Chain A
Amino acid sequence: MVLDQSHAKTLLTATEAARARTRSVLSTNWFPMILFGLLALVSIPVAELWSSTAMAALWLIGAPLGTLATALWYRSRTIEIGVSVNPWPYAVTAVAIIVGCTVTGIFGRGGPISYAGPLLVIGLGYLVFGRLDRNFVGAGFGAAMAIVAIVVFAAKPPHVYALTMLAFGAGSVLLGLWNLLQVRRTD
């Protein structure tokens, strides 16, 4: 085989460019980040001004509906752009987050586990999503949320639900907007 090293370098560069472009297209996640961030932010006044039962009802209805909307959004995006990842690891992680949040929320009985547990599950879930997407910022955000969950579990500050959901909601919306900006720039 006739080959010089500069040709090998050119091939490697072109290959890495194709991989990077595909990776960037596939790591688009602004829709679920903004959707679940807004859901968390909306749940703060519901919990603070109304009741924790209303807040739990909001999540029990909002989380499955949000997951369904996210699945439909990814499906239409796959049809539009023509490239997709294996959806199963994402679906399993999403279901694990919903089940984990429901179980810790219900069995926490209003105690520290009922607010720190769901946040820990969400943080670990985002960490998995970030790992799957090779999105270090998303994975870092998930790890930060998991650490916040452990800190609030130990410190038990007042208005703990509002504080944790503000951190999660605002962070998620900001990361979603950042991702949307990047997508718009590359399109």
Chain B
Amino acid sequence: MPEAELHPTAELDETVHQRVRLGVLAILSEADRATFTYLRDTLDVTDGNLSAHVAVLAKAGLVRIDKGFVDNRPRTWVRATAKGRSTFQAEISALSKLVGRYRGDVAGSRRS
């Protein structure tokens, strides 16, 4: 008997499946590292909001936070871990499947 196909939502990750967290990982999938300020401005969120989401990602081992100084000013850098990168790719794949399934449903209902 063929194995029952799981609905794409079953493949979504609870930790990553959130606009800001997914956005952080999306940016870090393109870059080696990004500052807290860059993430905040690009994702258009407040400092507190971003802090909370980055903390969740760091706790899950998906990002690493490095604090340092540039010209005597404190600067926080965020990097994706290997686990973070693979989790992001899996999430994007699951979301794409879900959207593809939606498109298939719409096309099917239009034909019938």
Q: What is A's interface to B at a CB cutoff of 8 Å?
A: 1, 3, 5-6, 8-9, 11-12, 14-16, 18-19, 21-23, 26, 79, 81-87
Scoring A21, A22, A82 by chain B CB atoms within 10 A of each residue's CB, the highest score goes to A82
* Number of B positions contacting A (CB below 8 A): 31
The binding surface of chain B is classed by DSSP as helix
Scoring B22, B26, B32, B101 by chain A CB atoms within 10 A of each residue's CB, the highest score goes to B26
User: In the complex, which of the residues A5, A19, A79 contacts B27, with contact meaning CB atoms closer than 8 Å?
Assistant: A19
User: In the complex, which of the residues B14, B30, B34, B98 contacts A82, with contact meaning CB atoms closer than 8 Å?
Assistant: B34
Docked-complex contact A83 and B99, CB < 8 angstroms:
no
* Residues of A close to B70: CB separation below 8 A: 79
Q: Pick from B37-45, B48-56, B59-67 the stretch touching chain A.
A: B37-45
Docked-complex contact B98 and A5, CB < 8 angstroms:
yes
Q: What is B's interface to A at a CB cutoff of 8 Å?
A: 9, 12, 14, 17, 19, 22-23, 26-27, 29-35, 37-38, 42-43, 70-71, 75, 92, 95-96, 98-99, 101-102, 105
Docked-complex contact A9 and B31, CB < 8 angstroms:
no
Scoring A8, A16, A85 by chain B CB atoms within 10 A of each residue's CB, the highest score goes to A8
Docked-complex contact B30 and A9, CB < 8 angstroms:
no
